[in-house]
Structure 1
Amino acid sequence: MPKYHRPTNRADALTALVEGGPRARALVGGTDLLVGLRHHHDTADVLVDLKGVTDLPEPVVVTDDAVLIGPTYTMGELVTHPVVGGWFPALVEAALTVGSVAIRNRASLIGNSCNASPAADTAPPLLVHGARVTISSLDGDRTATLDEFFLGPRRTLCGPGELVTRLELPRPAPGSGSAFRRLTRRRGVDLATVSVAAGVGPDGALVAAMGAVGPRPLRSEVPGPVDLTDPAALDRALDQLVAVATPISDVRGSREYRLATLRVLTKRAVLAAADRRDPREMAS
């Protein structure tokens, strides 16, 4: 049974993580961690509960240029926030696929990112929207893009004694759009066989991020403008976007099936993102 700590300030939380060593884990919602411990898929000697820490960043702060998200901000709060929904529709679409309402009301967005599952549904839209994380330790803070943060299956830049205290989403450029698409074997809480988020910029540039087709969520870009009304141009862009994928065969789908599905979903996500752009704000 892991030792349980419930600190009331950030310094004590970080100290508990340091003293707990590599097998100390931060706990917020626990929707992945506690299930993993119960079924012996995860290990921890120390659990540091952050819900009583009073000096963590606010759950959500909206500025003129970004949305800043703290460690306790849940998926349930995210999907009902008007600014998040307006600026980052792909993220809301992805969050709505995470478990049930009860799970979303406990699961934190930062915790989902720190879990670093290659099939995490919120990772692709966060990558598309250029998310950055702040990693805190007793020595201070450092920042990284989310693309840099993901190292591999359940591996991140966040080391022993460190804690992700903020996730920053820059405000999208006017005239851009985003969308999310996924495929599972069945409806409900099943992991994605393939998931894709896509963004289309005001100049017609494309960005895509994919889940469950590599050892970590993957991101790719195609410079604009891309004429999405030209089938040949769209096909060339899709070739470039999906070229980073390196799926494996497992119980959810074969490598070949995933590659074929990925292309279809990427096309759907790109076209849906393009439809969400405001024509009045697009580059001429």
Structure 2
Amino acid sequence: MPKYYRPTTRADALAALAEGGAGARPLVGGTDLLVGLRHHTLEPDLLVDLKAVTDLPEPIAVDDEGMRFGATCTLGELVEHPVVREWYPALVEAALTVGSVAIRNRASLVANSCNASPAADTAPPLLVHGARVTIASLDGDRTAALDDFFLGPRRTLCGPGELVTRIELPRPAPGSGAAFRRLTRRRGVDLATVSVAAGVGPDGALVLGMGAVGPRPLRAEVPGPVDLDDEASLAPALDRLLAAATPISDVRGSREYRLATLRVLTTRAVRTAASRRNPREMAS
């Protein structure tokens, strides 16, 4: 069994993570970590429990520029926040697909990204909204776009001795809209076979976040205007957006099935996102 440490300050937490190096893992909700320990797919030497740390960023902060989610923000808190529901409906839709209410009340938004699963449910909408992460270490803080943060399956820019303390989202542009769609074998208890979040800008530009169709969550965009009511305009835009997808065949679905499903879900997500735009805010 690993050693367990429960610091009360960020400095102590970072010092413990630095001393433990690659053998140390931070613990917040533990919904993935504890499963990995039970099945011996994860065998850290040290667990650094962050739940008693008093000087981490607050779970949710909002201002005119956007929102910030601290390391201890749970998916349950996220889906109940009125500003999140208004500004980021695709993120709420994605968070609601994660497990049960009990799981969402423990699972951390930040940790869901730090696990770097190619099928992470909240990654596609975070990518659509241009999320940035803050990575802390004893040497100071640095920030990175979430799209750059993901390096591969279970691999991120957050290295040994480092800790992601915050995810930031800019406020959506007036006249934009977003939506999330997901397919699994069994609702709520399985990894996504395919997931996609779509954003439609006020000028008709499109951006996608895709899950379970590559070695990491993927982001793609095409500039506007794209006429969503004209198949001759929409079809080539979708071709460009989906060109980045490189799914594999596994127990959840074949490569061909994933590609076909991805296009169907993307079309639905784009149309739903477009329907959520406020016509009075859209660019003329």
Same fold (TM over 0.5): yes
Give deviations 1:172-206, integer Å, cap 9, x for gaps.
00000000000011212111000000000000000
SS in 1 for 2:261: helix
Structure 2 segments unaligned to the other structure (5+ residues): none
What is the identity, as a one-letter code, of the residue corresponding to 1:152? G
SS in 2 for 1:47: strand
Match in the other structure for 1:15: 15
Match in the other structure for 2:246: 246
What are the equivalent positions in structure 2 for 1:84-163 lying under 5 Å apart? 84-163=84-163
Match in the other structure for 1:70: 70
Distance in 1 (CA, whole Å) between partners of 2:135 and 2:227 is 39
Match in the other structure for 1:176: 176
Q: Per-residue deviation at 1:85?
A: 0.8
Residue 267 of structure 1 pairs with residue 270 of structure 2? no
SS in 1 for 2:238: helix
Match in the other structure for 1:191: 191
Give deviations 1:65-96, integer Å, cap 9, x for gaps.
11011000000000010101111000000000
Distance in 1 (CA, whole Å) between partners of 2:206 and 2:40 is 41
Q: Per-residue deviation at 1:23?
A: 1.6
Distance in 2 (CA, whole Å) between partners of 1:121 and 1:235 is 26
What is the identity, as a one-letter code, of the residue corresponding to 1:166? R
Distance in 1 (CA, whole Å) between partners of 2:253 and 2:86 is 34
What is the identity, as a one-letter code, of the residue corresponding to 2:264? V
What are the equivalent positions in structure 2 for 1:18-37 lying under 5 Å apart? 18-37=18-37
What are the equivalent positions in structure 2 for 1:224-243 lying under 5 Å apart? 224-243=224-243
Structure 1 segments unaligned to the other structure (5+ residues): none
Distance in 2 (CA, whole Å) between partners of 1:235 and 1:185 is 28
Distance in 2 (CA, whole Å) between partners of 1:166 and 1:236 is 37
TM-score, normalised by the number of residues in structure 1: 0.99
Match in the other structure for 2:256: 256
RMSD after superposition: 0.5
SS in 2 for 1:69: strand
Give deviations 1:236-258, integer Å, cap 9, x for gaps.
11101110000000000000110
Match in the other structure for 1:212: 212
Distance in 2 (CA, whole Å) between partners of 1:247 and 1:14 is 37
Give deviations 1:124-167, integer Å, cap 9, x for gaps.
00000000000000000000000000000000000000000111
Q: Per-residue deviation at 1:21?
A: 1.2
Give deviations 1:2-42, integer Å, cap 9, x for gaps.
00000000000000001111020000000000011101122
SS in 1 for 2:8: coil
Distance in 2 (CA, whole Å) between partners of 1:98 and 1:43 is 24
What is the identity, as a one-letter code, of the residue corresponding to 2:151? L
Distance in 2 (CA, whole Å) between partners of 1:176 and 1:54 is 37
What is the identity, as a one-letter code, of the residue corresponding to 2:209? A
Distance in 1 (CA, whole Å) between partners of 2:45 and 2:127 is 31
Distance in 2 (CA, whole Å) between partners of 1:275 and 1:156 is 34
- How many residues get paired? 284
SS in 2 for 1:41: coil
What is the identity, as a one-letter code, of the residue corresponding to 1:180? F
SS in 1 for 2:158: coil
What is the identity, as a one-letter code, of the residue corresponding to 1:12? D
Distance in 1 (CA, whole Å) between partners of 2:43 and 2:135 is 22
Residue 283 of structure 1 pairs with residue 279 of structure 2? no
Identity of aligned residues (%): 82
Distance in 2 (CA, whole Å) between partners of 1:3 and 1:16 is 11
Q: Per-residue deviation at 1:43?
A: 2.1
